[in-house]
Amino acid sequence: MFVPREGAGYYWDRLRVLRNECALGLTHNRAQITELEQEHYRTTYSENVRHYLYMDKDGNFVAFSRLEWRDGYVYPTYGVGAHFRGRGYIWDVVRHAMLAAGGPLKGDLLVDNEAIKVVDYALGWRPFGDPVGLVQSVYAEWPPEFAKGVFPA
């Protein structure tokens, strides 16, 4: 589900909770976000950013993604909540993020996060450059390999 800026306080809190559960797997800001910080962010983020929440068949919020368009690329952030990992949700989240991007993507990942490397690389992400510390830069072309023939270049 797309999370709108206005009138979605409950969903913004679910997004914050999921993001905080995934903080140690992020490559940039790994701090826990407070409700006050989330509210400030909700009212000030760029119009070039979209947020999504993902639910399972039972209505549980299991994952999130954030897509930011800048410099001719889309930069995604995504994660699956702690209680829902190992169930395959990340495959759908990454596919959705890549398709929703509608153009080439750039990002990075932790070199010791084998789970996300398996998913990202299988879906078309490729490393570029040498890792800096524990962070590997990655890119993905559009359309992603898994969508060729469905979405024209």
| pTM (global) more than 0.95 | no
Q: How far apart are alpha carbons 15 and 5 in whole angstroms?
A: 12
**Which two three-digit tokens encode residue 44?**
């000030």
* Complete DSSP assignment for 9-53: HHHHHHHHHHHHHTGGG-SS--SPPPHHHHHHHHHH--TTEEEEE
Q: How far apart are alpha carbons 38 and 1 in whole angstroms?
A: 18
Provide mean pLDDT across the span 79-90: 97
CATH top class, domain 9-147: alpha beta
Largest Cα–Cα distance in the chain? 45
**Which two three-digit tokens encode residue 51?**
């947020």
Provide mean pLDDT across the span 110-134: 97
Closest CA to 93 of 51, 127, 126, 133: 51
Q: How far apart are alpha carbons 65 and 98 in whole angstroms?
A: 11
Closest CA to 115 of 74, 82, 148: 82
* pLDDT single digits (tens) 20-63: 999 999 999 999 999 999 999 999 999 999 999 999 999 999 99
User: Residue 74: which pLDDT band, with cuts at 50, 70 and 90?
Assistant: very high
